[in-house]
């Protein structure tokens, strides 16, 4: 993949995850730090967690029960900026630092799964919702273990995300600019379309359709 269409909220989540790692005197960014970032990132992920009965303050407490701070004399020395996938992401979304912490293999996997989830849903961006699903899909990291212990399952999280996206996407979760062309959409996964219809009696009505085919059928019925 040559482009990474990360939302502004995901940028903030990744930056917050790094800050959490430093605050805990860890020399890496793991799934636990990503989850702490997601819990403070707002957007669809936070809404999904709340709707699924997760108290975000309790979520943080549960993570910190498992994750212990590093030694007080830790220098939290930064490794060289990551190369490969993580380096490409960092360059694209502006996360390069003079000092950078390496991502664990599980955290890298989460990002890969988030991008895969976005692709599977035919989304042209990676949002906090995809990151949350990626944390669950990874299964073996601390984040997945904590979320599972609180009663969540990957499919349940995904279903709630899809339900939320079927209503309204928070304005702050719009995709950042990217040179990557939009992914072709399958006929059954097209974007919602809103038609403004003027009736013969002068009434103006806005009709929203989940698929372009439904909008076309409606227009044809108006012509009858």
Q: Is 33 exposed, middle or buried (0-12, 13-18, 19+ CB in 10 A)?
A: buried
Higher-confidence residue of 210 and 82: namely 210
Residue 148 has pLDDT above 90, yes or no: yes
- Are the C-beta atoms of residues 62 and 54 closer than 8 Å to each other? no
User: Reduced to 3 states, what is the DSSP secondary structure of residue 131?
Assistant: helix
The CA–CA distances, whole Å, from 150 to 28, 61, 105, 128, 214 equal 25, 12, 24, 19, 40
Residue 159: which residues within 8 A CB-CB, separation 6 or more? none
Contact 194, 168 (CB under 8 A): no
Query: Which of 172 and 8 is assigned the larger pLDDT?
Result: 8
| CA 109 – CA 216 distance, rounded (Å) | 41
pLDDT band at 210 (very low <50, low <70, confident <90, very high): low
Residue found under tokens 């601390």: 142
E strands, the chain, in order: 193-198, 204-209
Q: Which of these, 69, 68, 67, lies nearest to 145 by C-alpha position?
A: 67
**Minimum mean pLDDT range among 82-86, 124-128, 138-142:** 82-86
pLDDT of residue 205: 58
Q: What is the mean pLDDT of residues 42-50?
A: 90
Q: What share of the chain in percent tops pLDDT 90?
A: 40
pLDDT-based confidence at 108, cuts 50/70/90? very high
Looking up tokens 């390496």 gives: 102
Mean predicted lDDT score pLDDT of the chain: 74
CA atoms lying within 13 Å on the CB side of residue 56: 15
Q: Kindly state the percentage of the chain with pLDDT values over 70.
A: 59
């Amino acid at each position: 993949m040559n482009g990474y269409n990360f939302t502004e909220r995901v940028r903030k989540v990744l930056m917050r995850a790094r800050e959490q790692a430093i605050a805990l005197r860890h020399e890496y960014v793991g799934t636990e730090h990503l989850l702490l970032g997601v819990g403070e990132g707002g957007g669809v992920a936070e809404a999904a967690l709340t709707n699924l009965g997760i108290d975000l303050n309790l979520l943080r407490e549960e993570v910190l029960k498992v994750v212990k701070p590093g030694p007080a004399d830790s220098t939290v020395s930064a490794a060289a900026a990551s190369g490969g996938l993580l380096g490409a992401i960092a360059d694209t979304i502006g996360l390069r630092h003079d000092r950078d912490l390496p991502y664990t293999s599980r955290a890298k996997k989460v990002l890969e799964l988030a991008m895969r989830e976005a692709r599977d849903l035919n989304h042209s961006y990676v949002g906090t919702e995809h990151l949350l699903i990626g944390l669950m899909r990874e299964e073996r990291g601390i984040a997945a273990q904590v979320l599972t212990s609180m009663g969540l399952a990957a499919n349940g999280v995904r279903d709630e995300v899809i339900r939320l996206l079927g209503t309204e996407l928070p304005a702050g979760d719009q995709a950042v600019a990217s040179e990557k062309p939009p992914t072709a959409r399958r006929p059954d996964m097209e974007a919602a379309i809103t038609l403004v219809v003027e009736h013969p009696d002068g009434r103006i009505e806005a009709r929203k359709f989940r698929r372009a085919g439904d909008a076309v059928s409606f227009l044809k019925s108006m012509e009858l």
